[in-house]
Amino acid sequence: MTKPTRRYLGYLGLNTLFGTDRTKQILHVNPTVIPQREEAREVRAYVYDFNDREIEVKEYNEVAPLLQYRNSGRVSWINVDGLRKADVEAICNHYGVHALLLEDILSIDQRPKMDEVEGVLFCLLNMLYFNDQHGTVEQEQISIVLGKDFVISFQEDASRDVFNPLRDKLRISTSKIRQRSADYLCYSMLDHIVDNYFLVMERLGVRIEELEEQVIQNSNSRALARISALRKELIVLKRNLAPVRDLVNGIIRSESDLLDDRTTKYYKDVYDHIMQAYDLCENYRDIMVNMQDLYINNVNLKMNEVMKVMAIVTCLMAPATVIGGIFGMNFDKIPYLHNDYGFYIAVGLMLLIPIYMLWVFNKRGWF
């Protein structure tokens, strides 16, 4: 689509209907092509090293100090914002993360999944955010590595995440996170990510309710454009929810020594939440399908109303056409042709017959 065309469609509010940029972003997935990730300009790392009595919070701009927290005797959460290949390799090699998992961490647009390789439990999924300005669901890939007494998380964007409530709980000495081991910390991170899905779905639900009212009141091309845009965002949502369900289920079924039996019930709670979110997403999808059918039905109804009006007008004009055609024939002798009142009689019939037809149509309930 050319730039002038896109600009004119933007003036009409129809660019989302005919534009394909968002569709390409959603559907452009080719696992055989390894995209090149851009190196982050800066790396920020936050370390929460804690036990039930004390906690140490540090912030670093390089990865070298992060290597000292292995086997520290306490639970360590290392959160790395911004990915550079050399930095990620240094951390993974020091903490015993397999090269296959390293490749997944540095990948782009990966499907959410869970792996257990050489004593390390690995989770890859997306954090979701809703962009109110563009009305789109944005995703940020996060990789979580669970090892013995440590959790390492790798994020792409250093400006936002969903873990601020978790950080606040870590500062409370009586919180469960401070009393439990690293597997409970991993559960808490997954729980916050899944709970944030509901916030995104709530924002989408509000947009769907507003759109439903718009479609009922005025089914125009702008409403169709919004239906198309919201259906694309539901694709993004469903693509993330379904694999996370399998991810959490894999953790529950895992027999890893890193997972305490007492923590399994908490992961089951996350599984229940993600199933609820998935069912809600399916409900949204059904609503959007029904809304599109409603739009089509409204358009057809408007077309039928227009055709009915045109048919009535045609029927009302038929008597005048017939009378005018009869008295317009080129015969020498036509009744009332030379009558002084012939014109007024013809015009009167042209008016009286359509009025009578309107009365008959109304009596039969045709309009």
Whether the predicted pLDDT of 91 surpasses 50: yes
Q: Are residues 206 and 274 in the same domain?
A: yes
- The confidence score (pLDDT) of residue 151 equals 95
- The confidence score (pLDDT) of residue 9 equals 44
- The confidence score (pLDDT) of residue 24 equals 66
Q: Are residues 343 and 217 in the same domain?
A: no
Host domain of residue 320: 310-363
% of residues, the chain, pLDDT over 90: 38
Q: Are residues 93 and 174 in the same domain?
A: yes
pLDDT mean across residues, the chain: 85
Q: Are residues 106 and 244 in the same domain?
A: yes
Give domain status of residue 304, yes or no.
Answer: no
Give domain status of residue 305, yes or no.
Answer: no
Give the mean model confidence (pLDDT) for residues 49-74. Answer: 89
User: Bridge partners of 154?
Assistant: 80, 143
| CATH code at position 359 | 1.20.58
Q: Are residues 277 and 331 in the same domain?
A: no
pLDDT classification of 35: cutoffs 50, 70, 90: low
Whether the predicted pLDDT of 62 surpasses 60: yes
Give domain status of residue 18, yes or no.
Answer: yes
pLDDT classification of 30: cutoffs 50, 70, 90: low
* Domains held by the chain: number: 3
Give domain status of residue 303, yes or no.
Answer: no
Give domain status of residue 61, yes or no.
Answer: yes
pLDDT classification of 150: cutoffs 50, 70, 90: very high
Say which range, 110-114, 222-226, 265-269, has the weakest mean pLDDT: 222-226
pLDDT digits (tens, 9 = 90+) for 302-318: 888 888 888 888 888 89
Whether the predicted pLDDT of 283 surpasses 60: yes
Give domain status of residue 326, yes or no.
Answer: yes
Give domain status of residue 15, yes or no.
Answer: yes
Selected residue with higher pLDDT from 28 and 293: 293
Q: Are residues 254 and 350 in the same domain?
A: no
Q: Are residues 282 and 156 in the same domain?
A: yes
pLDDT classification of 338: cutoffs 50, 70, 90: confident
Q: Are residues 120 and 10 in the same domain?
A: no
- The confidence score (pLDDT) of residue 27 equals 62
pLDDT digits (tens, 9 = 90+) for 16-27: 444 567 676 666
Q: Are residues 86 and 221 in the same domain?
A: yes
Q: Are residues 7 and 17 in the same domain?
A: yes
Q: Are residues 165 and 244 in the same domain?
A: yes
Distance of CA 349 to the CA centre of its chain: 63
Q: Which pTM does this prediction carry?
A: 0.79
pLDDT digits (tens, 9 = 90+) for 127-143: 999 998 888 899 999 99
The CA distance from 7 to 196, in Å, is 35
pLDDT classification of 8: cutoffs 50, 70, 90: very low
Q: Are residues 203 and 342 in the same domain?
A: no
